[in-house]
Amino acid sequence: MSILHRVRRAVSQRIPRQYAIRYRLMRERLAADSRRADREAEYFLVSYPKCGRTWLRVLLSRALEIHYGSPEVDYLGGAFLGGNVPGAPRVRVTHDDDPHWKTSRGLDRRKRRYRGKRVVLLVRDPRDVLVSMYFERSRRERAYSGTLSQFLHERRGSLDTILAYYNIWARSRGIPSDLLVVRYEDLRRDTERELVRLLAFIGVSDASEATVREAVRFASFESMREMESAGSLESGRLRPRDPNDPESFKTRRGKVGGFVDYLNPDEIADVERRIRSGLDPSFGYADPKGAAPSPALRGGVETPGAA
């Protein structure tokens, strides 16, 4: 172990965990390899954390692996989706600005990184993101010791940040050359259809039905949970913090509307009031029942015969 590495580890052990995590993420974002990958990317897959990005990443990587006959795929690593599958489009996967560690005012509003690129924006009901983010922060990262009720009003990485992040993207929709918004709820409701739409958007319009079905099977919640329990993907991104604590799993629940199991009626009413008054309605989440987003944000390639 080098002296520099020992110094870094010693320093990290002496500062609060949240600051160590934020410092690591900043170093990764500013690294030369990361900036080079941004320039080389043909597409970006962007999301706020806890919107189902790990699931979508495995789903798409499996489809690309089969379609291109790749002998080796890195499902959760590498600069590009699938670890840069030979012949496949270069899709850069990013949380975009690490927003979950920022206040709403501290978010990057410029989005110049995506100018001239084609972007997939994965979104999810802010109520579910909020609860899932709490468990990520408290059980997986162990960087928050407060209650869920307290987390609802945190300035950094809670509801205000989530809403601001979505609103920034709604206002920035014209910066990429093309923007495809994918809702987690739609992906859960009809995974095959949404996967075909996603593949077409990144230039893979000829994937077979068998490829799509196998990718959906491989990345099902049950399969992902089994892979996480067994550590079969050999990635820290898909490994429980505590195997005896279901809330510390990356594949925690995958449930649409699961927030009702954690928030009391008054908290739900307050969160929904803040969403109605503070979120761009084009995402479809201002209505508590989650109406479909407007065509203005839908974007992208539609599949033949799709409604």
Which CATH number belongs to the domain containing residue 144 in this structure?
Answer: 3.40.50.300
The CA distance from 102 to 118, in Å, is 25
Residues 6+ away with beta carbon under 8 Å from 97: 107, 108
**Tokens standing for 44?**
């970006």
Helix 17-30 × helix 32-40 angle, to 10°:
50
**Tokens standing for 260?**
């009702």
Specify whether 195 is located in the same domain as 232: yes
DSSP 297: H
Specify whether 168 is located in the same domain as 63: yes
Q: What is the pLDDT of residue 96?
A: 86
SS3 12: helix
44, part of any domain: yes
Q: What is the pLDDT of residue 51?
A: 93
**Tokens standing for 83?**
């670890």
Specify whether 40 is located in the same domain as 26: no
**Tokens standing for 184?**
């987690």
Which residues sit opposite 123 in a β-bridge? 183
16, part of any domain: yes
200, part of any domain: yes
Over its length of 307 residues, how does the chain's per-residue pLDDT go in tens digits? 567 666 556 555 566 665 555 555 566 665 677 778 888 999 999 999 999 998 999 999 999 999 999 888 888 878 888 887 889 999 999 878 889 889 999 999 989 889 999 999 999 999 999 999 998 888 877 778 899 999 999 999 999 999 999 999 999 999 999 999 999 999 999 999 999 999 999 999 999 999 999 999 999 888 877 776 666 665 545 655 656 555 555 565 667 898 999 999 999 999 999 999 999 999 999 876 544 454 455 444 333 333 3
39, part of any domain: yes
Total of domains in the chain:
2
Specify whether 18 is located in the same domain as 100: no
DSSP 181: E
Specify whether 6 is located in the same domain as 134: no
303, part of any domain: no
Specify whether 205 is located in the same domain as 277: yes
Closest CA to 259 of 159, 166, 182: 159
The CA distance from 74 to 199, in Å, is 18
Specify whether 26 is located in the same domain as 36: no
**Tokens standing for 119?**
């972007």
The CA distance from 33 to 199, in Å, is 26
Strand stretches in 19-152, DSSP E: 43-47, 91-94, 118-123
Specify whether 26 is located in the same domain as 153: no
Specify whether 71 is located in the same domain as 1: no
**Tokens standing for 82?**
């699938």
Specify whether 102 is located in the same domain as 175: yes
Specify whether 14 is located in the same domain as 122: no
Q: What is the pLDDT of residue 269?
A: 95
229, part of any domain: yes
* Greatest Cα pair distance in the chain: 61
Specify whether 48 is located in the same domain as 17: no
106, part of any domain: yes
For residue 14, what are the domain limits? Answer: 1-30
52, part of any domain: yes
